[in-house]
Chains A and B, each alone.
With several copies, the nearest count.
Chain A
Amino acid sequence: MTKVKILGVELKNPVIAASGTFGFGKEFDEFFSIDKLGGICSKGLTLNKSNGNKGIRIYETPAGLMNSIGLQNPGVEGFIRDELPFLQGKDTVIFANLGGHSLDEYLEGIELLNDTSVDFIELNISCPNVKEGGMAFGIKCNTAESVVKEAKKVSKKPMIVKLSPNAENIQEMAYTCVESGADGISLVNTFNALAIDIYNRRPVFNNITAGLSGPCIKPIALRMVYEVSKVVDVPILGIGGITRAEDAIEYIMAGATAVQVGSGNFIKPDITLDIIAGIEEFMEREGIKSLEEIRGII
Chain B
Amino acid sequence: MKDGYKEGTIYSNDEISPNIFEVILEGDFHGIPGQFYMIRGWEALDPFLARPISIADIDSGKLKLLYELKGRGTHIISKLKKGDKLSLLGPLGNGFDLKEEGRIAIITGGIGIAPMLYLAKNLPDEVDIYSGFRSNAYFLDQIRPYVKSVNIATEDGTTGHKGFVTELFEPSKYDLVYTCGPTPMMEVVIEMCKGIVPVYASMESRMACGIGVCLGCTIETTRGMERVCKEGPVFKGEEVVI
Contact = CB atoms under 8 A, between A and B. Distances in A.
The answer to whether A and B touch in the complex, with CB atoms under 8 Å apart, is: yes
Interface of A: 20-23, 27-28, 30-32, 43, 51-52, 56-65, 67, 69, 72, 214-215, 243, 263, 265-270
B61 interface: no
B1 A32 contact: yes
Interface string B217-229: 1101000110000
A30 B225 CA distance: 22
Interface in B185-242: 206-218, 220, 224-225, 230
- What DSSP secondary structure best describes chain B's contact surface? loop
B212 A57 contact: no
Interface of B: 1-5, 40, 45-50, 89, 206-218, 220, 224-225, 230
Contact of B48 (A23, A28, A65): A65
A267 B213 CA distance: 12
B213 A57 contact: no
A23 B47 CA distance: 23
Nearest to B213: A23
Contacts of A32: 1, 4
B4 A268 contact: yes
A104 B59 CA distance: 58
Contacts of B211: 27-28, 31, 269
Contacts of A61: 48
Given A30-B2, A51-B225, A267 B49 contact: yes
Given A30-B1, A31-B2, 16 more contacts: A22-B213, A23-B213, A27-B230, A32-B4, A57-B206, A62-B45, A62-B46, A69-B215, A72-B215, A214-B45, A215-B45, A215-B48, A266-B209, A266-B213, A267-B48, A267-B49
B83 to A, nearest CB: 23
B4 A31 contact: yes
A93 B89 CA distance: 28
Contacts of B47: 60
B105 to A, nearest CB: 31
B218 A60 contact: no
Contacts of A65: 48-49, 208
A31 B5 CA distance: 10
A20 B224 contact: no
A65 B5 CA distance: 20
A57 B216 contact: yes
Contacts of B46: 62-63, 215
A263 B47 CA distance: 13
B1 A60 contact: no
16 contacts: A21-B213, A27-B230, A28-B211, A30-B2, A31-B1, A51-B225, A57-B216, A58-B206, A62-B46, A62-B48, A65-B48, A65-B208, A214-B45, A214-B48, A265-B213, A268-B4
Contact of B214 (A30, A31, A266, A270): A266
A20 B214 CA distance: 6
A291 B78 CA distance: 35
Top 7 closest pairs, chain A to chain B, by CB:
A58-B216, A23-B213, A266-B209, A63-B45, A62-B45, A57-B216, A266-B208
